[in-house]
Amino acid sequence: MCDQPNCEFSELTIKPAARNDVLSDIIRVHLDHRPGTRAGEVVRVWIDDDHYIRGIARGAPKGVIYLDSILRQKLGVRSGKKYRLYIDKADFFDQLLWALSTSEPLPRIAAQLAVTSVALGFFGMCAGLLSIWIALAN
């Protein structure tokens, strides 16, 4: 749900993404419709204040939002229709979830490797601490 004090939903017309934006989770929308975010940042697009998608912000003309068919399906919208949408910057957790589930393989694989590395590092640290505890107990 929108957690900003002054959530302003914008009436935006959904348009299909350009061919080079398909399967890259790019959300093209004008800067005025996504306050506080820059191009290249992960944003959340809210519909009905309870359902949202994540994607990478890029510029577009005012009054329209360009989404590929996968993002349109996830959001439950149809091309050519107007919807009340709210766009905000994704927090760290949403950025991580976007990276782990993006259609684009490069950031998805990098995020999976990062999560695996952190998990292995944590288990290694626990094993090291356990061995120190056992050594000091004897």
CATH number assigned to the domain comprising residue 47: 2.40.40.20
Q: At what angle do helices 92-101 and 105-137 cross, to 10 degrees?
A: 110
pLDDT digits (tens, 9 = 90+) for 75-110: 999 999 999 999 999 999 999 999 999 999 999 999
pTM beyond cutoff 0.85: no
Cross-strand pairs, 57: 27
Give tens-digit pLDDT for 54-82: 999 999 999 999 999 999 999 999 999 99
Say if residue 112 is in the same domain as residue 60. no
Q: How far apart are alpha carbons 14 and 11 in whole angstroms?
A: 10
At 31-54, the pLDDT tens digits run 999 988 999 999 999 997 678 999
Same domain, 81 and 14: yes
129 and 81 in a common domain: no
In this structure, the answer to whether residues 77 and 54 fall within a common structural domain is yes
Q: What's the confidence (pLDDT) of residue 35? A: 87
- Domain interval for residue 60: 1-101
How far apart (Å, rounded) are the C-alpha atoms in residues 70 and 26? Answer: 11
Q: Retrieve residue 71's tokens.
A: 């993002």
Residue 4 is classified by DSSP as S
Whether residue 78 is found in the same domain as residue 23: yes
The C-alpha atoms of residue 41 and residue 21 are separated, in whole angstroms, by: 15
- The answer to whether residues 69 and 14 belong to one domain is yes
The pLDDT of residue 127 is 96
12, 42: one domain? yes
Q: How many CB atoms lie within 10 A of CB 41?
A: 14
Q: Is 47 helix (H, G, I), strand (E, B) or coil?
A: strand
93 and 128 part of one domain:
no
Distance CA 47, CA 5 (A): 17
Number of domains in the chain: 2
